[in-house]
A and B are shown apart, each in its own frame.
Chain A
């Protein structure tokens, strides 16, 4: 593999609170090459958003990135950088967009001012130059009348427009990496299509890498090159997007795909994953998914599974990799037997 742009290695982000430790991100590793799109998929409580925030070191008290974690960006160890050095990277080399653009934009500044502000913080551009770059960037996001739109306030815009502003703000300095945390979740499906198309177009034009945090497998299939599936603060499966959708190896990935109603296949009844994600303060020993898994056996209780290589560029944190015969004998998961009471 070529030199990676971002290499996250054994990232652990814990929240220490009142004696309890919530291990929200617990030993996550993956990398992102220049120009590619990596999707981090997971449900609530999987640790995917905390992972994204950890990369930018935006974890606040009582959260802490634990010693031994490593985040290499462009060959530099970010966890050793001073806060000032981090500020130089944020918004400049690594930018981030969020699910809810309204809360990420300042209501009392025009959107043009906010984009220009990013330019002025990181470069020595004059006020006028910064404004011109803001307008140019808005044009690039497909806004008609960018000069006019730049003078509007966030509340004067629709959700889709605000997301375009967020994108313009994130990309105005041509970052090498864009972290997009559920960028289209709050949007309607036709607007989502516009935004995804825009992100792909800009990615091509600007040659940046995208780390996409999402719960939507449909979006993943459309835009990602590689996928990291998270569950219980860990990476449970890692593969190229075609590999993952063609042959999901981890029972959780498989479960997610079956639980999703699909336009192209009508099923009478959806498959569910019984139970709920255990709290991050008390991950079960052994495999964290075992109580909800239809294949779990003694080994899953005794032994915490490593990420097994299950193919070229395909890894799965499941003992099925070494005992594949077990796949032939699914049973009712423990969480389902413990009563229908989830």
Chain B
């Protein structure tokens, strides 16, 4: 599959950070910086789907929006097709927006309740002067067909649609400007299982037909495994592991990834789960622990002082498989023993 893709990555993100600072009270004193995204680097090849998984607050959504400049990154570099996205201003930025689009999680807040869905899809076409008047209307109808909606619906308002239909409208809006890449920010997590499958299939069909590149952000590990070629795992603002979907799911290296995968409930009753149940909850990003951010909850049998002293770099452990852990990965036997202990 890799051979089909050109060598130069379409998107290259290096050392991207995004902090939020909160000013509170009359003194406008600066409260602690929250580093939502912390020194994140990765790239995506044209036509590829990179999945990003992590729990709420890990920074995955902020990362997606920073790449699109819907939020202004604090530091780092984003190159899209060789263009430095963070250096763009005004009209140049707006025309770059054509090439990168986004599909949102919430099918309710992502559509303007007082604008017909046809007008919402037409907006980008008009802004970028891809078509005018009747031609633009025609394009909107074709897009509706393409995402599986009746073109007669263009003059309706969002509240007349179900959640799944709204997501299709959101996809049509993203497609309207003929982007090369789409950031899918939890596009199916608000949907019922049967509808979720419809939207996932749609996204896959569109990728095949239009050669799209996806940055697919989700908390559902099964969905990401299904759709992604490669997967990045985020924890507390950092990418802690990144590998091909196959390697990551069959052979996770980071203790966090291991725990995450073992926590997913499997639809097989009676299966004795060797489960690592993580203790506690992720620390606040306003006050991350020193060294490895996962250290306080880590179950690695050989974790020690050293883990708290250096921030583990994302290292290539096996070809194409990067992980941010300074220890040798725990062996399967060790993990089974851990799970057995926990079960007792």
Contacts and interface: CB of A to CB of B under 8 A. Distances in A.
Is B truly associated with A? yes
Interface of A: 43-44, 158-161, 188-194, 196-197, 215-222, 224, 241-242, 244-245, 255-257, 259-264, 266-267, 269-274, 276, 339-342
Nearest to A227: B269
Contacts of A161: 281
Contact of A245 (B249, B259, B267): B267
B56 interface: yes
Contacts of A266: 225-226
B269 A196 contact: no
A189 B150 contact: no
Contacts of A273: 194, 197
Interface in B261-286: 261, 263-271, 273, 275, 277-278, 281
A190 to B, nearest CB: 5
Contact of A188 (B55, B196, B197, B268): B55
A342 B165 contact: yes
Given A218-B266, A245-B269, A255 B194 contact: yes
B192 A270 contact: no
A256 B271 CA distance: 20
Nearest to B278: A190
Nearest to B146: A340
Given A260-B222, A262-B222, A340-B148, A190 B55 contact: yes
Nearest to A197: B277
Interface string B150-193: 10010000000011110000000000000000000000000011
Contacts of B119: none
Contact of B194 (A43, A191, A219): A43
Interface residues of B, number: 44
A157 to B, nearest CB: 10
Contacts of B138: none
A22 to B, nearest CB: 16
B268 A43 contact: no
16 contacts: A159-B56, A189-B260, A191-B281, A193-B263, A193-B265, A215-B192, A220-B269, A222-B266, A256-B193, A261-B200, A261-B222, A263-B249, A263-B266, A276-B162, A342-B165, A342-B198
Contacts of B226: 261, 266-267, 270
A218 B201 CA distance: 21
B219 interface: yes
B198 A43 contact: no
B194 A222 contact: no
Given A270-B226, A272-B201, A259 B265 contact: no
B149 interface: yes
Contact of A259 (B197, B225, B261): B197
A256 B195 CA distance: 10
Contact of B267 (A188, A257, A276): A257
The 3 A-B residue pairs whose C-beta atoms are closest, nearest first, are: A218-B265, A188-B55, A261-B226
B273 A222 contact: yes
Contact of B193 (A43, A160, A242, A276): A43
B204 interface: yes
Given A191-B281, A272-B201, A44 B192 contact: yes
B170 to A, nearest CB: 15
A196 B265 contact: yes
Contacts, number: 129
B164 A263 contact: no
B142 interface: no
A253 to B, nearest CB: 11
Interface of B: 55-56, 148-150, 153, 162-165, 192-198, 200-201, 204, 219, 221-223, 225-226, 249, 259-261, 263-271, 273, 275, 277-278, 281
Contacts of B259: 190
Contacts of B277: 190, 193-194, 197
A263 B162 contact: no
B281 A221 contact: no
Contacts of B223: 261
Nearest to B194: A273
B1 to A, nearest CB: 12
A341 B219 CA distance: 28
B260 A190 contact: yes
A339 B150 contact: yes
A224 B270 CA distance: 10
B263 A190 contact: yes
Nearest to B151: A341
A245 B198 contact: no
Nearest to B263: A193
A276 B195 contact: yes
Contacts of A197: 277
B55 A260 contact: no
B194 A189 contact: no
A189 B219 contact: yes
Given A245-B267, A255-B194, A272-B198, 16 more contacts: A43-B193, A161-B281, A189-B260, A193-B263, A194-B277, A217-B193, A221-B267, A222-B269, A259-B197, A260-B222, A261-B222, A264-B268, A271-B197, A272-B194, A272-B197, A273-B194
A269 B204 contact: yes
A270 B201 contact: yes
B268 A259 contact: no
B196 A259 contact: yes
A295 to B, nearest CB: 16
Contacts of A342: 148, 164-165, 198
A194 B278 contact: yes
A188 B266 contact: no
A264 B222 CA distance: 9
Contacts of B263: 189-190, 192-193
A215 B222 CA distance: 15
Interface centre among A197, A222, A241, A339 (most CB of B within 10 A): A222
